[in-house]
C-alpha cells in the first residue's frame, strides 16, 4: 500500500519524479528565472485570451500543478487590481478518475479544493507541470464533469514534452520540450522540492 | 495491503494512510455528485453470515460510491441453510468474478481462513468475525476521534495526525466485543492511551496482556483520567443467555448494570468539555447509554455512521485500485 506523489503523467519510464537526488545526471532546461518568466507570460496570455480575470478559476492538479496555479493567481492579481488570488486558485485531485490506477501501486489521494464560488459558468484553467500522454488531463476533465459545468475549460502547463496518446492540447505552454520516451522530465518547485528547476534525465546522451 | 483482517495488521504509517484517504473520500461525499468512477468494473461481494444493518449498508454504499458492482449475500435464505460450507460458498462467489469479499461471520477467524486457505484469490475484508475483530469499525472510530480532537481550522480533518496523548475510555461489554478488541489495538498503534472499563465478569481472559489499562469503576476513571473520548459498547445480551427478568450470568440486573456502567447525564457532566461520546451501534438506550447522553451534542454516533462510509471507501480503494496481477 505504498504510494508516491500523484504523478502528472502515466508512462513509467518517463515521469517527472519529485525529491532530490540524481543531481548530477541530465541537463537543466529551465531554471528559476526561466520558470518565473514563463509563468508571467502565461498569466498575461490568460488575461489576454479571457479579456480580464472575471469568472476565471485556476485549478492546479496535485502535486506540482497546485503551487503553479497559486503562482499564476498571484501574478494575475498583480496585473488585475482587486483580484483576490486565494479566491481564484484551487486544486483538483484526479487520482480517482485515472484510467491507469491498476497499473501502479496505490496512489495517495490529493485534496480537491474549489474556490467558494464554484466552477459553474466560469472559465476553468487547469494547471499542471508536465503535459505528456494527456491522460491526466482526460481524468481532470472527467473530474470537472462531476463537480459542475464550467463555461469553458483551458489548459496551462509548464512543460509540454509531446508523446500525446489522446487528442488533447495545451492552451498555454511554458516551454515546448521535444523529448524521447526514454528520457525523464523532472520538474521541481520551491513549494514541494525546495528548488525551482526543470531537468531532462536519462535517454541517449 | 492485500487483505484487511485485523486492526493489528495496520502499522502506524498504514493506519494514518487509510485515515487520510478517508478524509479525501469524505470530502467527495459533500459534493452534489457523490459517485466516483474509481472501481468501475470491479465486483465486491458482501458475504454476511450474521445479521447486520449499518455495516452491510455502509460497505454497500461505499462500494457503490466508487462505482463497483455489489452483490449482497445473506446466509439466511441462501444455500448455506441447506448446509453449504464456507469454502463452497466462497468459491461459488469467486467463480462469479468477485474482486473483493467483505465477510461477516459468527465464527472468530473465518475471514482469516478465507484469506489464507487458498480457496479464493480475492481480497478479503473482515466486517466482523465472532468476538475477534472488526477493523473497519476501529478505523472509523479512530477517524472520528482524530477529526474531533486533533482537527484545527486549517486542517479540519486532522490529516496526517495520529492520536498521541489522547485518553480514550472503552466502557461496557468487552468480553463479547470485537469492536473493543480492534479499537484497543488500533488506538494504541496510533498513540492513544486506552482504558477498558467493565464489570469483572465481562473482561476477557488474557485482557491484562492487551496494550491498555483495565478498570472496574467508571466513576473513578471519569474523575481521575478525564478521558478525551468515551466509547460505550453495546451489551450483547443475545450472546449472554439470561432469563426474562434481564438477569444474566454476567450481571444481576439491567438496572444494576446501568447504575455502575451506564453513561447518564451525571457522568456526562463529569467529562471534560471537549470530550466526545462514541457508540458503535445499535444502542440499548436506557441500558449502557441514557437517551440524554445519546442525543447530547457531544455524541458523535451518527457522525460515526457517516464516517464509516468514507473509511470503507478508503479501504476498498487501497485494496482494489492497484495492479490486478498482484491480486491473482
- pLDDT digit string, tens, across residues B105-121: 999 999 999 999 988 88
Average pLDDT, chain B: 92
The whole-number pLDDT of residue A18 equals: 44
Looking at the structure, tell me whether residues B13 and B115 fall in a common domain: yes
Average pLDDT, chain A: 87
Beta carbons of A109 and B35 less than 8 Å apart: no
The whole-number pLDDT of residue A147 equals: 93
Looking at the structure, tell me whether residues B234 and B119 fall in a common domain: no
Number of domains, chain B: 2
Looking at the structure, tell me whether residues B155 and B290 fall in a common domain: yes
In a domain, B2, yes or no: no
- Residues of B in Cβ contact (< 8 Å) with A139: none
The whole-number pLDDT of residue B83 equals: 79
Residue in A102, A108, A142 closest to B322 by CB:
A102
Beta carbons of B25 and A102 less than 8 Å apart: no
Fold adopted by A26-202: Rossmann fold (3.40.50)
Looking at the structure, tell me whether residues B13 and B97 fall in a common domain: yes
Looking at the structure, tell me whether residues B42 and B156 fall in a common domain: no
SS3 assignment for chain A: CCCCCCCCCCCHHHCCCCCCCCCCCCEEEECHHHHHHHHHHHHHHHHHHHCCCCCEEEEECCCCHHHHHHHHHHHHHHHCCCCCHHHHEEECCCHHHCCCHHHCCCCCCCCCECCCCCCCCCEEEEEEEEECCCHHHHHHHHHHHHHCCCCEEEEEEEEECCCCCCCCCCCEEEEECCCCCCEEEEEECHHHHCCCEEEEEECCC
Evaluate if residue A30 carries a pLDDT over 80. Answer: yes
Evaluate if residue A204 carries a pLDDT over 90. Answer: no
In a domain, B251, yes or no: yes
State which residue of chain A sits closest to B37, comparing Cα positions.
A97
Looking at the structure, tell me whether residues B84 and B27 fall in a common domain: yes
In a domain, B1, yes or no: no
Evaluate if residue A2 carries a pLDDT over 70. Answer: no
Residue with the bigger pLDDT between A101 and B138: it is B138
Residue A147 CA to chain centroid, in angstroms?
Answer: 19
Looking at the structure, tell me whether residues B154 and B280 fall in a common domain: yes
User: Could you read off the pLDDT of A116-170 as tens digits, one per residue?
Assistant: 888 999 999 999 999 999 999 999 999 999 999 999 999 999 999 999 999 999 9
Please report, for chain A, the start and end positions of each structural domain, with discontinuous segments joined by +: 26-202
In a domain, B310, yes or no: yes
The CATH number covering residue B117 comes to: 3.40.50.1370
Q: How confident is the model at residue A5 (pLDDT cuts 50, 70, 90)?
A: very low
The whole-number pLDDT of residue A1 equals: 43
Looking at the structure, tell me whether residues B292 and B166 fall in a common domain: yes
State which residue of chain B sits closest to A93, comparing Cα positions.
B24
Domain containing B16 equals 7-133+306-327
- Alpha-carbon distance of A97 to B79, in angstroms, equals 38
Average pLDDT over residues B43-70: 94
User: Could you read off the pLDDT of A62-83 as tens digits, one per residue?
Assistant: 999 999 999 999 999 999 888 9
The whole-number pLDDT of residue A16 equals: 46
* Contact status of B27 with chain A (Cβ, < 8 Å): yes
The whole-number pLDDT of residue A108 equals: 80
User: Could you read off the pLDDT of A128-142 as tens digits, one per residue?
Assistant: 999 999 999 999 999
- Residues of B in Cβ contact (< 8 Å) with A97: 36-38
The whole-number pLDDT of residue A17 equals: 46
In a domain, B122, yes or no: yes
Looking at the structure, tell me whether residues B111 and B123 fall in a common domain: yes
The whole-number pLDDT of residue B311 equals: 97
Query: Lowest-confidence range among A98-107, A132-141, B171-180?
Result: A98-107
Looking at the structure, tell me whether residues B298 and B161 fall in a common domain: yes
Percent share of chain B, pLDDT over 70: 98
Looking at the structure, tell me whether residues B218 and B281 fall in a common domain: yes
In a domain, B315, yes or no: yes
In a domain, B237, yes or no: yes
Looking at the structure, tell me whether residues B74 and B139 fall in a common domain: no
Beta carbons of A112 and B1 less than 8 Å apart: no
Amino acid at each position: 500500500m505504498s504510494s508516491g506523489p500523484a504523478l502528472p503523467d502515466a508512462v513509467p519510464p518517463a515521469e517527472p519524479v519529485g525529491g532530490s537526488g540524481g543531481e548530477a545526471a541530465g541537463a537543466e532546461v529551465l531554471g528559476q528565472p526561466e520558470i518565473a518568466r514563463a509563468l508571467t507570460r502565461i498569466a498575461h496570455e490568460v488575461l489576454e485570451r479571457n479579456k480580464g480575470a472575471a469568472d476565471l478559476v485556476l485549478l492546479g492538479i496535485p502535486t506540482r500543478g497546485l503551487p503553479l496555479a497559486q503562482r499564476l493567481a498571484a501574478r494575475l492579481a498583480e496585473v488585475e487590481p482587486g483580484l483576490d488570488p486565494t479566491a481564484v486558485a484551487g486544486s483538483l485531485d484526479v487520482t480517482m478518475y485515472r484510467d491507469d490506477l491498476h497499473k501502479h501501486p496505490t496512489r495517495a489521494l490529493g485534496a480537491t479544493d474549489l474556490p467558494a464560488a464554484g466552477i459553474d459558468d466560469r472559465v476553468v484553467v487547469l494547471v499542471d507541470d508536465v503535459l505528456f500522454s494527456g491522460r491526466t488531463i482526460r481524468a481532470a476533465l472527467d473530474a470537472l464533469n462531476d463537480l459542475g459545468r464550467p463555461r469553458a475549460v483551458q489548459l496551462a502547463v509548464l512543460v509540454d514534452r509531446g508523446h500525446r496518446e489522446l487528442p488533447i492540447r495545451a492552451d498555454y505552454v511554458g516551454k515546448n520540450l521535444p523529448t524521447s520516451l526514454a528520457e525523464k522530465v523532472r520538474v521541481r518547485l520551491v513549494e514541494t522540492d525546495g528548488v525551482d528547476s526543470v531537468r531532462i534525465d536519462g535517454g541517449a546522451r | 495491503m492485500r487483505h484487511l483482517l485485523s486492526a493489528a495488521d495496520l502499522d502506524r504509517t498504514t493506519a494514518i494512510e487509510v485515515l487520510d484517504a478517508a478524509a479525501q473520500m469524505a470530502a467527495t461525499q459533500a459534493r452534489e455528485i457523490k459517485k466516483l468512477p474509481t472501481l468501475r468494473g470491479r465486483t465486491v461481494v458482501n458475504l454476511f453470515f450474521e445479521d447486520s444493518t449499518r455495516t452491510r449498508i455502509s460497505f454497500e454504499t461505499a462500494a457503490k460510491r466508487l462505482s463497483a458492482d455489489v452483490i449482497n449475500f445473506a446466509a439466511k435464505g441462501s444455500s448455506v441453510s441447506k448446509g453449504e460450507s464456507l469454502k463452497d460458498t466462497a468459491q461459488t462467489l469467486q467463480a462469479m468474478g468477485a474482486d473483493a469479499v467483505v465477510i461477516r461471520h459468527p465464527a472468530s477467524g473465518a475471514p482469516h481462513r478465507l484469506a489464507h486457505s487458498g480457496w479464493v484469490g480475492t481480497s478479503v475484508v473482515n466486517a466482523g468475525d465472532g468476538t475477534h475483530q472488526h477493523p473497519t469499525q476501529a478505523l472509523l472510530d479512530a477517524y472520528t476521534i482524530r477529526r474531533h480532537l486533533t482537527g484545527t481550522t486549517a486542517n479540519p480533518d486532522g490529516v496526517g495526525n495520529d492520536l498521541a496523548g489522547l485518553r480514550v475510555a472503552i466502557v461496557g461489554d468487552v468480553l463479547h466485543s470485537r469492536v473493543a478488541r480492534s479499537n484497543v489495538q488500533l488506538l494504541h498503534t496510533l498513540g492513544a492511551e486506552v482504558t477498558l472499563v467493565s464489570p469483572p465478569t465481562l473482561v476477557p481472559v488474557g485482557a491484562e496482556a492487551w496494550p491498555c489499562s483495565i478498570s472496574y469503576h467508571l466513576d473513578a476513571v471519569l474523575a481521575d483520567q478525564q478521558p478525551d473520548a468515551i466509547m460505550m459498547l453495546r451489551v450483547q445480551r443475545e450472546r449472554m443467555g439470561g432469563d426474562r427478568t434481564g438477569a444474566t450470568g454476567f450481571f444481576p440486573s439491567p438496572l444494576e448494570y446501568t447504575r455502575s456502567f451506564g453513561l447518564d447525564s451525571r457522568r456526562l457532566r463529569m467529562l471534560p468539555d471537549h470530550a466526545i461520546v462514541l457508540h458503535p451501534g445499535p444502542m440499548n438506550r436506557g441500558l449502557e447509554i441514557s437517551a440524554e447522553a445519546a442525543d447530547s451534542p457531544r455524541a458523535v454516533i451518527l457522525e460515526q455512521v457517516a464516517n464509516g462510509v468514507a473509511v470503507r471507501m478508503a479501504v476498498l480503494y487501497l485494496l482494489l485500485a492497484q495492479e490486478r496481477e498482484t491480486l491473482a
